[in-house]
Amino acid sequence: MKKAGDAAKKTRKPVKAKKAVKAKTVKAKTVTTKKAVAAKKTTSAKKTVKAKKTVNRIPIKTVDLKIASHKGLFDEGCYGSQCQDECCGWGCDIDLATIKLITKHRDKVEALTGAKIEDCFKTPLKQDNDYIGGAYRETAVRKSDKLCCFHLKGSKGCSLFYLWIKEKLPKRIVPTICRTYPVTWHRGKLFADLPLKKNCKAKEKTPKGVKVASLFETQKKELKALFDIPKKEWKKLEDANKAK
């Protein structure tokens, strides 16, 4: 009887084992399915966030207070300066939002520069969230006069500034770096691009007793429009500007 009972026990054990295994398998499948669904949702969410991400203003973390103490250029950028456009010899980085406008008005731009839009760039489009629109291209420099290819041909000044001021096209057609010069930025830091070229108006000597606006004052409107500056950093600039 004992053997019979033992045999019965042995007979029942495999059945239990099979059920346990089966149950475990079902549970594992359920967990795997849940994980797959969760992973799918996460991936889908990530794709949605990435697709919606647009750089409308450049994020800034810290500011250089020299912006508030250095002599300013003048309101609305370089267009009215009496210098020889020396800084245009570097060329510039043009953000994606500006490239789109330039392309839209290519006939007007090409008429002023004497060159096709495609020939005014030396690099392909590069993805970079340090620029409005999330990408940029570097401009080429003309061999004939050693100036940026978007500079007016045979005349002083930039074709893009000209189209904004004279033709009343959107200000966005002027590259960010040119609108705020000599204030510039890099990876979250806003600062004055020093030393300046020798003929830059912001480097001219100030007559004794004459109060001159700072870079912060002359470029303030552009800084607000183009950069996402933390309130505490903006206040630092305001306080430094009052103390100068």
Average pLDDT of each block of 10 consecutive residues along the chain (244 residues)? 39 46 45 50 44 78 95 64 83 97 98 97 97 97 95 92 94 94 95 81 69 89 96 97 88
- Does 52 fall in a domain? no
Residue 137 near residue 150, CB atoms below 8 Å: no
- Does 6 fall in a domain? no
The strand pairing partners of 151, in sequence order, are 158
Cα–Cα distance between 82 and 55 in angstroms, integer? 34
Per-residue pLDDT, 8: 41
- Does 8 fall in a domain? no
- Does 233 fall in a domain? yes
The separation between CA 105 and the C-alpha centre of its own chain, rounded to angstroms, equals 22
Per-residue pLDDT, 200: 77
Cα–Cα distance between 183 and 215 in angstroms, integer? 7
Residues 6 or more apart whose CB falls under 8 angstroms from that of 127 comprise 134, 135
Domain encompassing residue 219: 58-243
Dihedral pair phi/psi, residue 63, rounded to 5°: -125, 150
Residue 156 near residue 85, CB atoms below 8 Å: yes
- Does 182 fall in a domain? yes
Per-residue pLDDT, 204: 64
Residue 141 near residue 91, CB atoms below 8 Å: yes
Dihedral pair phi/psi, residue 211, rounded to 5°: -85, 125
- Does 37 fall in a domain? no
Per-residue pLDDT, 39: 52
- Does 2 fall in a domain? no
- Does 141 fall in a domain? yes
Q: Reduced to 3 DSSP states, what percent helix, strand and coil does the chain have, rounded to the nearest 5?
A: 50, 15, 35
Per-residue pLDDT, 4: 39
H helix or E strand, kind and range, residue 104: helix 96-104
> What is the domain count for the chain?
1
Residue 166: C-alpha distances to residues 69, 76, 88, 161, 224 (Å): 32, 13, 20, 8, 24
